[in-house]
Amino acid sequence: MTWDRHRQLPDDAPVDDADVSAVLDRAMGRDVGVRDVGWRSRFHCEERQVVRYRHGRVLLAGDAAHVHSPMGGQGMNTGIQDAINLAWKLDAVLAGADDAVLDSYHDERHPIGRRVLFQSGAMMRAVTLRPRPARAVRDAVSGRLLRWRPSAGLIAGSFSGVGLRYARRRGDHPLVGTRATTIPLTEGTVADRQRDGRFLLVREADRRDDGPAVLVRPDGYIAWAGAGDDLRRARDAWTTPQTHRSEATR
């Protein structure tokens, strides 16, 4: 992507190959040697998100649910996680789970989409700052954040999507809503053991660390952690019809 902060044109203005080459040459400080431009268009950053991800039997995911700047490369991961979050819940409802399970798709993914819009938009605004003092502050702050390992890890996890978590209910274990893929097992990995698309119970004896037993959802997120009868209630919340759930948890 090339951008000339000193020559702003409307989105419908034609793109000339010479303009692309000129901006690249100035940015690189040399003749880049562009021989051919196979595809060109003027880029306009849309930032939109639907109010609800579910409308009855219609469920929206990916670009149908959110449109944002490509900065940070977050669109693909976000869309894939939308689909994975929705797929196993559709499967559960088709197998007899309560229809309300599908409402949790919006509850979990809409906040993530909103965060991606904010992050990608903030990056685009930071990259295209015009005042020189503002650009100097941006460079100084971002450089320090990326050099400090804890903040760099948080930023990488947030932009890749692997560091995001879903909200948990009051009283749930702190691990609920986090990803389980990094749990060290005595044999194999969580990802390998979930290839059948089912819930996975990891007992304390299955772990190589001193972590608690966890129930892992088909999308790799923890639905329950700890001990006792709460495990059955956590499982039934995702897999049991409402008419039978109260009886199963009495």
The one-digit pLDDT tens for each residue of the chain (250 residues) are 667 777 778 888 888 888 888 888 988 899 988 888 888 888 777 889 999 999 999 999 999 999 988 877 788 889 999 999 999 999 999 999 999 999 999 999 999 999 999 888 888 888 777 788 888 888 888 888 888 888 777 777 777 777 789 998 888 899 999 999 889 999 999 999 998 889 999 999 999 999 999 999 999 999 999 866 678 888 888 887 754 433 333 3
User: Quick one: tokens of 62?
Assistant: 């990916």
- Calpha distance 122→128 (Å, rounded): 10
**For residue 227, what pLDDT is reported?**
66
Do residues 224 and 230 touch, judged by C-beta distance below 8 A? yes
Q: Which domains does the chain have, with CATH numbers?
A: 1-44 (no CATH), 48-160 (3.50.50.60), 190-248 (3.40.30.120)
CB atoms within 10 A of CB 180: 22
C-alpha distances out from residue 157 to 8, 42, 218, Å: 34, 31, 21
Q: Specify the pTM.
A: 0.78
CB under 8 A, 24+ apart: contacts of 119-125: 119/72, 119/74, 119/158, 119/159, 120/47, 120/68, 120/69, 120/70, 120/71, 120/72, 120/74, 120/75, 121/45, 121/47, 121/68, 121/69, 123/69, 123/71, 123/72, 124/45, 124/69, 124/71
158 Cβ partners below 8 Å, 6+ apart?
Answer: 115, 119, 164
> Residue 204's closest CA among 177, 184, 230, 179?
184
C-alpha distances out from residue 192 to 57, 164, 175, Å: 32, 21, 21
- Calpha distance 98→234 (Å, rounded): 14
**For residue 86, what pLDDT is reported?**
97
- Calpha distance 72→95 (Å, rounded): 38
